[in-house]
């Protein structure tokens, strides 16, 4: 019962956190729209049927049932249709005309100057970037709380375990000792799990990296080790043996080297970071998420193969909302982890979601924010060109309504991707840990 409640709590935390993130995203759009005088008639979190709404001033505020996004309704998203067009219209032209007509119907007489399309390109860019930047700021705040408030997990000099024997680097960590395996020097010396290494040969030990470097560089050499065991300093002597050891290089790839080993593994501690590390941490996370988004087509093929065959699911691949919710629930319900670990994981999930919203919404395709930004940038360049090379001529507004057929394709692809991820999350989920 407790596990089920914790699972539900984890899901609720993520759902509420996602709703708040979406709400602040839309609030970012709305704030700048109102700042530049654009009329905003609706602000909603979610899609589908309305749960609750209230009109304040000229804007209706509310929530809808399906928490897959949100929107604000700005008047006059598209410029008026060019005059004088007639004749037979293709289905593409009819779709464009329908979008223009729907946009025109939102504009009240005398409010033509309050439409989105009437604003300067730089203003439209700021309005559309207001949403993604809000998600970026949320992520920065969450990473600050994680890094500075909670701390980043780091190997400590307190021993988590002491091996009974030395195994080859390629052996499974769960492999049991056999009669032919040499005894681990740490066990022979009397080291125990829970001991904290205080000094080696009289040199104070302040980090696991320092301890590991000393051991690796001293195969066959007797080391005087002092450990703190239940508040008492106990002197021991341990002699590292030359053996194979796996280490990670700067890019995270494991390589096998020969070095001194004694058969110990570190415990884990949280090390609070300086505030100046928050932006570099955010940058590294952004770089990783951007790589995933850029590689999304091939990753979705992998998700398809995993969902409809015996192929494994990539644990670092994309997941849908069901997968995120399940991961959050599993993390919250894992009582083997300390509460601080679980809290850190949940905040990490929310930070990753917000960074993903930031990156994904900057894709330069309608209906995403990046599509509107690209259109405004193109109009800005176009106006500059006319001002320099065609003096006296006025550049026409970029007609984003012409992209509605492509927008329909993009929406269809996005829905198909979310459905595929939902199915894969059900039949072959990515689990926590």
The residues that are catalytic are 26
Please, is 348 exposed, middle or buried when counting C-beta atoms within 10 Å of its C-beta (0-12, 13-18, 19+)?
Answer: middle
> How far apart, in whole angstroms, are the C-alpha atoms of residue 314 and residue 295?
13
Q: For residue 209, give both structure tokens.
A: 């990296």
CB 264, CB 161: distance < 8 Å: yes
Nearest partner of 185 among 154, 221, 231, judged by Cα: 221
Q: What distance in Å separates the CA atoms of residue 195 and residue 162, rounded to the nearest whole number?
A: 10
Radius of gyration of the chain (CA): 29
Alpha-carbon gap, residue 82 to 182, rounded angstroms: 85
Cα distances (Å, whole numbers) of residue 194 to 70, 174, 216: 50, 20, 21
Render 188-200 in DSSP notation, one character per residue: HHT--TT-EEEEE
DSSP 165: B
Question: Is 186 within 8 Å of 238 (Cβ atoms)?
Answer: yes
Q: How many residues does the chain have?
A: 433
Cα 94 from Cα 401, distance rounded (Å): 11
| Integer CA distances (angstroms), 207 to 1, 155, 238, in order | 41, 8, 18
DSSP letters along 108-119, please?
Answer: PTT-GGGSSTTS
């Amino acid at each position: 019962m407790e596990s089920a409640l914790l699972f539900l709590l984890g899901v609720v935390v993520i759902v509420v956190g996602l709703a708040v993130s979406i709400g602040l995203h839309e609030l970012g759009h709305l704030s700048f729209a109102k700042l530049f005088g654009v009329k905003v008639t609706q602000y909603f979190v979610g899609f589908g049927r309305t749960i609750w709404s209230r009109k304040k001033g000229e804007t209706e505020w509310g929530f809808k049932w399906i928490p897959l996004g949100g929107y604000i309704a700005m008047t006059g998203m598209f410029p008026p249709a060019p005059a004088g067009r007639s004749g037979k219209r293709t289905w593409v032209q009819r779709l464009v005309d329908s979008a223009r007509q729907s946009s025109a119907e939102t504009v009240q007489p005398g409010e033509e100057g309050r439409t989105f399309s009437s604003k300067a390109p730089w203003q439209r860019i700021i309005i559309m970037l207001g949403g993604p930047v809000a998600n970026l700021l949320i992520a920065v705040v969450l990473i600050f709380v994680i890094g500075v408030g909670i701390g980043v997990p780091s190997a400590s000099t307190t021993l988590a375990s002491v091996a009974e024997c030395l195994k080859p680097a390629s052996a499974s960590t769960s492999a049991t000792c056999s009669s032919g395996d040499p005894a681990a020097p740490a066990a022979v010396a009397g080291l125990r799990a829970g001991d904290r290494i205080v000094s080696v040969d009289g040199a104070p030990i302040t980090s696991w990296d320092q301890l590991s470097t000393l051991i690796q560089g001293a195969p066959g050499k007797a080391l005087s080790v002092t450990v703190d065991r239940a508040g008492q300093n106990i002197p021991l002597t341990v002699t590292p043996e030359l053996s194979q050891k796996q280490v990670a290089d700067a890019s995270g790839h494991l390589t096998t080297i020969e070095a001194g080993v004694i058969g110990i593994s570190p415990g884990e501690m949280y090390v609070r970071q300086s505030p100046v590390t928050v932006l570099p941490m955010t940058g590294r996370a952004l770089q990783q998420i951007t790589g995933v988004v850029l590689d999304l087509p091939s990753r979705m093929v992998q998700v398809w193969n995993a969902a409809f065959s015996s192929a494994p699911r990539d644990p670092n691949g994309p997941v849908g909302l069901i997968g995120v919710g399940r991961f959050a629930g599993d993390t919250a319900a894992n009582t083997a982890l300390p509460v601080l670990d679980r809290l850190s994981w949940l905040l990490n999930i929310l930070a990753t979601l917000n960074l993903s919203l930031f990156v994904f919404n900057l894709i330069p395709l309608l209906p995403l924010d990046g599509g509107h930004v690209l259109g405004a940038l193109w109009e800005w360049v176009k106006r500059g060109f006319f001002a320099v090379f065609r003096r006296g001529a006025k550049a026409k507004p970029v007609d984003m309504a012409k992209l509605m057929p492509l927008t329909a394709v993009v929406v269809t692809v996005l829905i198909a991707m979310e459905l595929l991820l939902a199915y894969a999350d059900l039949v072959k989920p990515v689990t926590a840990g």
